């Protein structure tokens, strides 16, 4: 299919880090879905890019031949064979394929059931209110930096039993690994090593002095009838940080940016607070932060295209969530949208473990904010910035109130 070859424009030579694309990706997604729904790009090691909802639903089922050992949109480690088994062990269960995937996922699921995450609501409420206390008197703040960014690392730190004072360090490493490091292998490896060293020490501490945090509970769990190896616990903790920090922070920041720049939606949520749940879902759909990655372990055919062995695939969940074949007025927000089968949390066997926690954090963060700051707007729209890459979210949102 000739039209699916790279032709050097943004729609078919997609660069997830292109600044113009990143500022306003919706036109590119629209164009790709219409002209070239499964495109190929030479950027970042080369990859196929799927942009339509139905294609992504079909592609996630092609496991394990479309393997999760490369779940990132950039190759996981420069210089190594990207199909090596080494990668499958890095962040279980995300990097594992069937049959190893299920038992590992089962270890985590009970920690993130609706009931289990409810236990963290009051910690999250208190945290959000303390953050608001810190800036409410100023009549202005950066809603992404001073608020959204501060929430998810502290909640996950709390789940893992990590001292609250170390959350900032967490964010720096996680950001270095998954975000800033995307185009900088040195920073990525440095941040990755720092995180691993830190978690290694935490696991050793919990062996000496167990609590009821998730690290202690993983230490007390069994995998295939045996104690869970320390290396698996460490890799799972790495995954929780990498998967749960900047995704959720992005969603909270993008939601506040949306309400600061869409007064009708803001006023509607103030007038109809019962819409909070559907507003959260709509923000997840419209401003989905995460894309997913796969690698072909053998030639895979899909709709007349062959992903050759060793080729990577990016699944643009944000684009799928704007697919007009599925969503009415896909580029518009409707915070009361009733039918909203978005795929912000992925689909198939790797669907997000932490979706209940992410929803709780978003709900609590928006509720606490709207209760105390119902009227707010952007103080400098030109100063708004977004992160680029696998996780896209608002990073600078200057507001006044």
Binding site for ligand HEM (CB under 6 A): 68, 71, 93-94, 105, 108, 156, 239-240, 243-244, 247-248, 251, 289-290, 292, 317, 344-346, 350, 352-354, 357-358
Q: Which is nearer to ligand HEM, 97 or 142 (CB)?
A: 97
Angle made by CA atoms 118, 119, 124, in degrees to the nearest 5: 80
Question: How near is the Cβ of 379 to ligand HEM at its closest, in Å?
Answer: 26
Q: Shortest Cβ distance from residue 346 to ligand HEM (Å)? A: 3
**Which CB sits closer to ligand HEM, 37 or 93?**
93
The DSSP element (H or E) to which 385 belongs, if any, is strand 385-386
Q: Assess contact for 220 and 210: CB atoms under 8 A.
A: yes
For the bound state, the minimum distance from the C-beta of residue 165 to ligand HEM, rounded and expressed in Å, comes to 20
Q: Which is nearer to ligand HEM, 12 or 330 (CB)?
A: 330
CB of 143 or CB of 243, closer to ligand HEM: 243
Determine contact, residues 54/319, Cβ cutoff 8 Å. no
User: What is the rounded CA–CA span in Å between residue 225 and residue 309?
Assistant: 35
Distance CA 200, CA 229 (A): 12
Min dist. Cβ of residue 2 to ligand HEM (A): 30
12 vs 235, beta carbon nearer ligand HEM:
235
Smallest gap from Cβ 317 to ligand HEM, in A, equals 6
Q: In the complex with ligand HEM, which residue's Cβ is closer, 239 or 366?
A: 239
Q: Which residue is nearest to ligand HEM (CB)?
A: 354
Contacting residues for 152 by C-beta, under 8 A, at least 6 apart: 244, 245, 246, 247, 248, 249, 252, 361
Query: Within a 13 Å sphere around the CA of 258, how many CA atoms are in the beta-carbon half?
Result: 25
Minimum distance, C-beta of residue 111 to ligand HEM, in the bound complex (Å):
9
Minimum distance from residue 68 beta carbon to ligand HEM (Å): 6
**12 vs 253 by CB, closer to ligand HEM:** 253
Point out which residues pair with 269 in neighbouring strands: none
Nearer Cβ to ligand HEM (12/314): 314
- Please, are residues 243 and 94 in contact by the beta-carbon 8 Å criterion? yes
Q: Annotate 294-347 with DSSP letters as a single string.
A: EEESS-EEETTEEEPTT-EEEE-HHHHTT-TTTSSSTTS--TT-S-----TT--
Closer of 12 and 151 to ligand HEM (Cβ)? 151
Pairing of strands 292-296, 300-302: unpaired
In the complex, the smallest distance separating the C-beta of residue 365 from ligand HEM, rounded to whole angstroms, is: 11
- Please name which of 162, 166, 158, 159 lies closest in space to residue 214, comparing C-alpha atoms: 159
Cross-strand partners of 226: 223
Q: What is the side-by-side order of every strand in the sheet holding 140-142?
A: 140-142, 398-400, 377-378
């Amino acid at each position: 299919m000739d039209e699916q070859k790279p032709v050097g424009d943004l729609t078919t030579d997609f660069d997830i880090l292109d600044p113009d694309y990143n500022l306003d990706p919706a036109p590119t997604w629209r164009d790709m879905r219409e002209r070239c729904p499964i495109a190929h790009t030479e950027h970042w090691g080369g990859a196929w890019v799927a942009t339509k909802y139905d294609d992504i639903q079909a592609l996630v089922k092609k496991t394990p031949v479309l393997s999760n050992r490369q779940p990132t949109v950039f190759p996981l480690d420069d210089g190594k064979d990207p199909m090596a088994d080494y990668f499958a062990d890095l962040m279980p269960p995300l990097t594992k394929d069937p049959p190893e995937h299920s038992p590992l996922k089962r270890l985590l699921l009970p920690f993130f059931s609706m009931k289990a995450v409810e236990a963290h609501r009051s910690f999250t409420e208190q945290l959000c209110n303390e953050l608001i206390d810190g800036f409410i008197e100023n009549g202005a703040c950066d809603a992404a930096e001073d608020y959204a960014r501060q929430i998810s690392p502290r909640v996950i730190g709390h789940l893992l039993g990590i001292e609250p004072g170390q959350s900032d360090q967490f964010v720096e490493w996680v950001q270095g690994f998954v975000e800033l490091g995307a185009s900088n292998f040195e920073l990525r490896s440095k941040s990755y090593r720092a995180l691993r060293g830190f978690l290694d020490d935490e696991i050793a501490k919990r062996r000496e002095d167990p609590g009821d945090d998730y690290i202690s509970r993983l230490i007390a769990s069994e995998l295939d009838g045996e104690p869970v190896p320390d290396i698996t616990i460490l890799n799972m903790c790495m995954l929780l940080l990498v998967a749960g920090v900047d995704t959720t922070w992005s969603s909270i920041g993008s939601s506040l940016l949306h309400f600061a720049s869409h007064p009708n939606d803001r006023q509607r949520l103030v007038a109809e607070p019962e819409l909070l749940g559907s507003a959260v879902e709509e923000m997840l759909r419209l401003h989905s932060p995460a894309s997913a990655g796969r690698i072909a372990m053998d030639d895979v055919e899909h709709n007349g295209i062959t992903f050759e062995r060793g080729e990577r695939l990016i699944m643009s969940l944000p684009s799928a969530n704007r697919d007009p074949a599925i969503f009415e007025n896909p580029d518009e927000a409707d915070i009361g949208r009733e039918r909203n089968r978005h795929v912000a949390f992925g689909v198939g066997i790797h669907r997000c473990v932490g979706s209940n926690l992410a929803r709780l954090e978003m709900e609590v963060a928006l509720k606490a904010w709207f209760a105390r700051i119902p009227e707010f707007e952007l103080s400098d729209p030109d100063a708004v910035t977004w992160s680029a890459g696998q996780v896209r979210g608002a990073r600078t949102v200057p507001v006044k109130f």
